[in-house]
Structure 1
Amino acid sequence: MKNFLDHNFLLRTNTAQDLYHQVAKHLPIIDYHNHLMPQQVAANSSFENITQVWLNGDHYKWRAMRANGVAEKYITGDATDKEKFLKWAETVPYTLRNPLYHWTHLELQRYFGINDLLSPKTAEKIYEETTALLKTPQFSVHGLLERMHVEVICTTDDPTDTLEYHQQFAQQTASFKMLPAFRPDKAMQIDDSAIFNTYVDLLETVTNRSINNLSSYLEALKERHDYFAANGCCVSDHGLEHIYAEDYTESEITSIFDKIRQNKPISLLENQQFKSAMLIYFAQWDHEKGWVQQYHLGALRNNNTRMLRSIGPDTGWDSMGDFSQAKALSKFLNRLDQENQLTKTIIYNLNPADNELIATMVGNFNDGSIVGKVQFGAAWWFLDQKDGMTKQLNTLSNMGLLSRSVGMLTDSRSFLSFPRHEYFRRLLCDIFGEDIEQGELPNDTELIRKAIADICYYNARDYFNF
């Protein structure tokens, strides 16, 4: 019987152990999609305690605490940081077989050297030990990233963001890069005209121009796209239930924009036409600059309207959706491909029922012009755990080229989340090791080690050109 979270955690064969420890373990990390706060990176912030760096903003943990009967006061409410941590410690023993149990103890080990299991019995000790360490310079934001050998992080930024913190960081000397990513979801979200018009007003202020029609709106957004590029951005990202690909004319989109600005009602078709058009505009700009565009598909957000009104979005009330994905995605990619405006693209799905759909869809638009031009993205959100990662890797292996994959990302708001790359790398090495020992892959050291290194690091380095 193996010990929990030992040296060979998740590595079931000698070959897997060799691949991980000799190849994957020490490779740098390129984290090309996350939700870290640029202000904290630029300021090289420190944290007063582990709650601030570990629990604040982590809706994975929040959902588990709620399921364990913890009151909201101890999650997003006004309880003290220590009280919140103690409630998390009460919850952890009940997360057995949830990935949070692995992540919690992996993060305590990797960052703080703590091997104790977190529980009410150990909570006080762990809180004090981690608090003491976090007060030292080695545990500032930069120190935490350097500890994990992070080479690049791409944050998630709205077109109206000033990017001032990216600019401040660019003037610093650091062992890693921080680059912005263009996330224009709000710029096409017209379900609530009042909220959208407030956003357009903000865009007017940021660009110092009047926006009174579709043309001026697109000019303002394109100006921000150019501004992002001037500040090192080479990645865009979209969080959508599904791709929109309705037919439309420019005159129709012009008319729809005018209606929205006048707070007039629009039809469901008009709503979808506008979103379809905006996706095409963004994709054309991305292609023009040679950016990588990412589409995160399938989340059903803000299901609990009572809690949404109480504490806002992105607080743990989202789930998988069962949207129809294939036809619209095909139509969208095909239009861009026909017009020679399809840039490098990564598609992520949240519903595992869509694994094979996405894996085969991306193959329709790999035309040999770029290695891995259109990619089936890594297991995302609810799927970035052992079962979800394994299924994504196996699906990609069966229907595409795993050896050309750009690997893992954190998609996280926490500076303690980077062991997820280790988790992915261990599972990857385990899969290859098992296949080799079963005679399903050749025991060719040079061939296999290159594949592991490429998936963990080199493919992303070359694909994004950071």
Structure 2
Amino acid sequence: MKSFITENFLLETEIAQELYHEYAKNQPIIDYHNHLPPNEIAEDRSYQNMTKLWLDGDHYKWRAMRTLGIDEKYITGNASDEEKFDKWAYTIPYTLRNPLYHWTYLELQRYFGIDEILSPETSSEIYKFCNKQLKKDTFSTQGLLKKMNVKILCTTDDPLSDLQHHKEIAYSSLTTRVLPSFRPDGIINIESTHFKEYIKKLSEKTAVKIANLESLLTAIQSRIDYFHENGGRLSDHGLSYVYAEDFTDSEIDTIVKKKLSGELITKEDILKFKSAILYYLGKMYAEKSWTMQLHLGPIRNTNTSLLTKVGLDAGVDSIGDFQQAEALAKFLDRLNNKEALPKTIIYNSNPADNDVFATMAGNFSENGIRGKVQFGTAWWFLDQKDGITKQINSLSNMGLLTCSLGMLTDSRSFLSFPRHEYYRRILCNIFGNDIKNGELPKDIKWIGKIIQDICYNNAKSYFNFPELDDK
């Protein structure tokens, strides 16, 4: 059976087809948030087989397989790679109406030219065909980035990273710019049993003896400076909600000293510390003209039994129902009042909060900056057709979609870049239907330009990426 992914997939009108094929399709990609491993890019890794490239580490697929009742040994266990692929081939026909179904066939077609439906009957043939293709240079990590026309890629990196792999990539022949993003979870999570150990490593890395708030901030600034020197222009925070408690520096200084000396700290201490560090980080980002990304709303690691067996990023997270508006407003306003609010992208994992986030983004603007605070594109559980459509509609209704920064992959897979195509097709379809319904003028040239801006140009202009010599 042939795939349903035709050239006009998701494009319901001739106008949508024109907008996509003439204006969106060939736009380069700026993937400003993902979890791709920079070491694999630096070494230009080639993959032994499709399981290594396509299934390992993909918790989206893992969740689907577990839901179907498949034994864990075929997911993260000791089954052979071909057996794991066969189980995914068994799973995919059951993922109807899940985005995995669309993504699977987009990826098989865009990278491998496969139009066949993946099933237990075709599993062996497709597995062997793809494995043969993986031997080509075009299927190494760098080859895959070139194939998908990725111009800029921003990885997610711990502040302790020496960024050695980014340095190696910068001096390689790869034309894609691979830049680090600053992810300071280890610094913020003072309640963690690993906090003291982390701060000790931070102290060693920066040659700053961390004993109080002042020295901690000095060490953090040192790492931000280092990231900046190596091309970093974005930070990223994975939070259930923003912390915005009132605090004084003397209170935070006492909390730091208590924690480092082994004393117990209270829940109130934890919230105050997180509020303070998040605030000071925001100020540091603004001083460097960085963009701060806030990924808000999930509840993580809910299945502790599976988490113990598999480890972090096991695929046992879900949408949370936290109250977001008041603390988010207070946090952004606190920085804004000090003229220290950086460009900020707020991502929402709960569709019930779409309008809250869309309206929040419009509260904080600055002369000369288009969309200083952005309502980020549909994220995680929402980066599917319905979620993307709802995010676009909320942003259109409450703000300016025309200033949007478009799609990102938020992925650990080098085969995930067709998600940009998926978003672009949905975007063009929405505009096409509006034109067909008489809700927008049939000004294809202007609307085509707006689509190009959303897909690429806005992100290119928004981020303060370093000027690098073309390779």
Both proteins in one fold, TM over 0.5: yes
Alpha-carbon shift at residue 421 of structure 1 (Å)? 0.1
Which residue in the other structure is 2:68 paired with?
Answer: 68
Residues 231-270 of structure 1 mapped to structure 2, 5 A cutoff: 231-270=230-269
Partner Cα distance (1:346, 1:106) in 2: 28
Alpha-carbon shift at residue 210 of structure 1 (Å)? 2.4
Alpha-carbon shift at residue 142 of structure 1 (Å)? 1.1
Which residue in the other structure is 1:463 paired with?
Answer: 462
Which residue in the other structure is 1:453 paired with?
Answer: 452
Which residue in the other structure is 1:86 paired with?
Answer: 86
1:238 match: secondary structure: strand
Residues 65-464 of structure 1 mapped to structure 2, 5 A cutoff: 65-192=65-192, 194-464=193-463
Partner Cα distance (2:247, 2:207) in 1: 30
Contact 2:29 2:420 in 1 (8 A): yes
Contact 2:3 2:115 in 1 (8 A): no
Q: 1:87 to 1:58 in 2, by over 3 A?
A: same
TM-score relative to the length of structure 2: 0.97
What residue identity is the alignment partner of 1:143? G
Q: Does residue 9 of structure 2 align to residue 9 of structure 1?
A: yes
Partner Cα distance (2:368, 2:152) in 1: 26
Partner Cα distance (2:382, 2:262) in 1: 39
Alpha-carbon shift at residue 100 of structure 1 (Å)? 0.3
1:153 match: secondary structure: strand
Deviation per CA, 1:355-405: give whole Å up to 9, x if none. Answer: 000000111102334111110000000000000000000000001000110
Alpha-carbon shift at residue 262 of structure 1 (Å)? 1.9
What residue identity is the alignment partner of 2:296? L
Contact 2:378 2:387 in 1 (8 A): yes
What residue identity is the alignment partner of 1:303? T
1:30 match: secondary structure: strand
Alpha-carbon shift at residue 135 of structure 1 (Å)? 1.1
Identity %: 57
Alpha-carbon shift at residue 446 of structure 1 (Å)? 2.0
Contact 2:159 2:182 in 1 (8 A): yes
What residue identity is the alignment partner of 1:298? G
Alpha-carbon shift at residue 57 of structure 1 (Å)? 0.8
What residue identity is the alignment partner of 2:118? L
Deviation per CA, 1:397-428: give whole Å up to 9, x if none. Answer: 00100011010000000000000000000000
What residue identity is the alignment partner of 1:383? L
1:33 match: secondary structure: coil
Uncovered stretches (5+) of structure 1, i.e. residues with no partner: none
Q: 1:3 to 1:438 in 2, by over 3 A?
A: farther
Contact 2:3 2:105 in 1 (8 A): no
Q: 1:61 to 1:288 in 2, by over 3 A?
A: same
Deviation per CA, 1:428-461: give whole Å up to 9, x if none. Answer: 0000000001100000122111111000000000
2:41 match: secondary structure: helix
Aligned residues: 464
TM-score relative to the length of structure 1: 0.98
Deviation per CA, 1:37-59: give whole Å up to 9, x if none. Answer: 00011111100111111111100
Partner Cα distance (1:410, 1:443) in 2: 31
Contact 2:3 2:116 in 1 (8 A): no
Partner Cα distance (1:244, 1:3) in 2: 47
Q: CA RMSD in A?
A: 1.1
Deviation per CA, 1:38-84: give whole Å up to 9, x if none. Answer: 00111111001111111111000000000111111111112121111
Which residue in the other structure is 1:51 paired with?
Answer: 51
Partner Cα distance (1:210, 1:71) in 2: 49
Partner Cα distance (2:62, 2:49) in 1: 18
Contact 2:290 2:464 in 1 (8 A): no
Uncovered stretches (5+) of structure 2, i.e. residues with no partner: 466-471
Deviation per CA, 1:265-288: give whole Å up to 9, x if none. Answer: 211111100000010111001000
Deviation per CA, 1:298-318: give whole Å up to 9, x if none. Answer: 010010111122221111011
Partner Cα distance (2:257, 2:223) in 1: 21
Aligned structure 1 segments of 4 or more residues deviating by more than 3 angstroms = none
What residue identity is the alignment partner of 1:431? I
Contact 2:156 2:180 in 1 (8 A): yes
1:239 match: secondary structure: strand
2:306 match: secondary structure: helix
Partner Cα distance (1:16, 1:197) in 2: 55
Partner Cα distance (1:3, 1:33) in 2: 30
- After TM superposition, the structure 1 stretch with the greater mean CA deviation from structure 2, 9-18 or 217-226, is 217-226
Partner Cα distance (2:66, 2:378) in 1: 24
Deviation per CA, 1:10-57: give whole Å up to 9, x if none. Answer: 000000000000110001000000000000111111001111111111
- After TM superposition, the structure 1 stretch with the greater mean CA deviation from structure 2, 260-269 or 62-71, is 260-269
2:232 match: secondary structure: coil
